[in-house]
Amino acid sequence: MRMIEYKQVKAIYAMANKIGISEKGNKNDDLHNLVLSRFKKTSIKDLTYFEAENLKRELSKCLKPVKNNSDGVPGMITSAQKKKVWALIYKLCEIDKREASAKERLMGAINKILGLSKTESNPLAWVTFEDGNKLIEYLKRYVKSAEKKRSDENEQ
């Protein structure tokens, strides 16, 4: 298995610094949390060549001006998307009464739909603009399904 190259490590840290997710000397910063959640590795140097390329590709998405997100990091989920996600989660909780809290449901949905394991402090921290759209569409389907299930139960 081909190991990560020095130039890849430098490129990853350069992109992370530009995005604002890397703190010098902090192994618990957002960059390392991303590596842990995506690749289950605690250090950038533990990545393989191909994992590093994948990470670089992901970080480069955040560098591209996908949408003018004046209230956050360009390329990441917007505040309007966050509001919509939370509105859908609360609607789902209202329709489908379960013991899980809204935050737990959101973290579960993010994990299932996007394959990201989130921290409890900010479940939407690593959701990109495109992934935000995907998450919203899936949550709309979940709400519609829960509404249909509830109406079917009420008819019986």
CA distance 131 to 116: 10
Residue 54 near residue 44, CB atoms below 8 Å: no
Please provide residue 128's backbone torsions phi and psi, each rounded to the nearest 5 degrees: -80, 170
The conformation of residue 29, written as its DSSP 8-state character, comes to S
Residues in CB range of 36: below 8 A, 6 or more apart: 42
CA distance 139 to 118: 17
CA distance 115 to 83: 21
Output the tens digit of pLDDT for each of the chain's 156 residues: 899 999 999 999 999 988 888 888 888 888 988 899 889 999 999 999 999 999 999 898 887 654 555 566 778 899 899 999 999 999 999 988 888 888 889 998 998 998 887 666 788 888 889 999 999 999 999 999 999 988 888 776
User: Which pLDDT tens digit goes with each residue over 7-20?
Assistant: 999 999 999 988 88
As a whole number, the mean pLDDT across the chain is: 87
pTM of the model: 0.54
Which pairs from 108-115 meet CB under 8 Å and 24+ separation? 109/135, 109/138, 109/139, 109/142, 110/135, 113/138
CA distance 99 to 147: 18
Question: How many CA atoms are closer than 13 Å to the CA of 81, on its beta-carbon side?
Answer: 22
Q: How many CB atoms sit inside 10 A of residue 120's CB?
A: 8
